[in-house]
């Protein structure tokens, strides 16, 4: 290969690399900058390795490395997973635009007098969360109650340890709003984990300055201690015990 042809090939390869880097940088958006521009408060949820954005009417939870994220109680997907870079999350232009759109929708709903689904937590909220968890008789669910700083929304996360050989699984995440005295309660299903003996860790988190709380329960049958004919083994003759 002549020197002139080699020079052309190198020039083309260099142009492709530079163009690719430029496109990548064009799609990189700082999540903290997007949050500040759209009026979100931003909170790191360290136990869950995720970030919560919130403002009146909307609560969003994103996680580095995951294309799935939560908007209030529903799930949405983005084109590229957020990446952790130098203490911040970097998100795609599509996700940045979607976050701005969600903020605009929440703002319009609030200005029109519609009741926002979630109130914005006060930045000065602080103090510990207390938590009580018990199985809900007759259901694959947990009865969760406790107390938190008044006005601060609480996020209840269910983490399932199914086996020592398997990673911990996030079963669900729910936002609850304490009343004026700080009391909160909720019935949270344990679906889709129906394996008896699973260890469920219930984690309650809130705004910055609030001390999280957690409790652990072991899944049992919804009607533990009750024997019904359907549960008895089939015995085709009278010799069975």
Residue 145 CB: number of other CB atoms within 10 A? 15
pLDDT of residue 233: 73
Query: What is the β-pairing status of strands 210-211 and 127-128?
Result: parallel
pLDDT, one tens digit for every residue, the chain (241 residues): 554 555 444 444 444 433 444 344 446 899 999 999 999 999 988 767 889 999 988 999 998 988 888 888 677 888 888 998 888 899 999 899 999 999 998 888 776 655 444 434 444 456 889 999 999 988 899 999 999 887 678 889 888 898 888 888 888 888 888 888 889 999 999 887 878 889 999 988 887 677 889 999 999 888 877 888 777 777 766 666 5
- Exposure class string for 51-86: b at 16+ Cβ within 10 A, else e: bbbbbebbbbbbbbeeeebbbeeeeeebeebbeeee
pLDDT of residue 191: 80
Q: Tell me the sheet residues that pair with 143.
A: 134, 187
What is the pTM for the complete model shown?
A: 0.51
Residue 2 CB: number of other CB atoms within 10 A? 7
Bond into 192 cis (ω within 30)? yes
Q: Tell me the sheet residues that pair with 218.
A: 199
Contacts of 147 (CB under 8 A, 6+ apart): 129, 130, 178, 181, 182, 183, 184
pLDDT of residue 12: 43
pLDDT of residue 134: 93
């Amino acid at each position: 290969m002549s020197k002139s042809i080699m020079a052309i090939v190198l020039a083309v390869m260099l142009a492709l690399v530079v163009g690719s880097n430029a496109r990548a940088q064009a799609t990189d958006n700082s999540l903290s900058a997007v949050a500040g521009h759209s009026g979100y408060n931003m909170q790191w949820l360290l136990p869950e390795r995720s970030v919560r954005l919130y403002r009146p009417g909307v609560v969003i939870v994103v996680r580095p490395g995951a294309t799935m994220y939560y908007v209030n109680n529903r799930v949405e997907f983005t084109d590229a997973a957020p990446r952790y870079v130098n203490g911040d999350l970097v998100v795609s232009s599509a996700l940045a635009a979607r976050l701005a759109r969600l903020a605009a929708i929440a703002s319009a709903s609030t200005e029109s007098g519609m009741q926002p689904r979630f109130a914005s937590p006060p930045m000065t909220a602080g103090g510990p969360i207390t938590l009580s968890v018990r199985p809900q008789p007759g259901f694959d669910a947990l009865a969760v109650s406790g107390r938190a700083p008044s006005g601060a929304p609480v996020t209840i996360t269910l983490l399932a340890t199914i086996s020592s050989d398997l990673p911990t699984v996030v079963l669900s995440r729910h936002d609850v709003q304490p009343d004026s005295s700080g009391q909160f309660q909720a019935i949270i299903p344990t679906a889709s984990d129906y394996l008896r003996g699973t260890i469920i860790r219930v984690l309650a988190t809130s705004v910055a300055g609030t001390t999280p709380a957690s409790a652990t329960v072991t899944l049992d049958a919804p009607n533990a201690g009750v024997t019904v004919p359907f549960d008895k083994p089939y015995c085709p003759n009278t010799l069975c015990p």
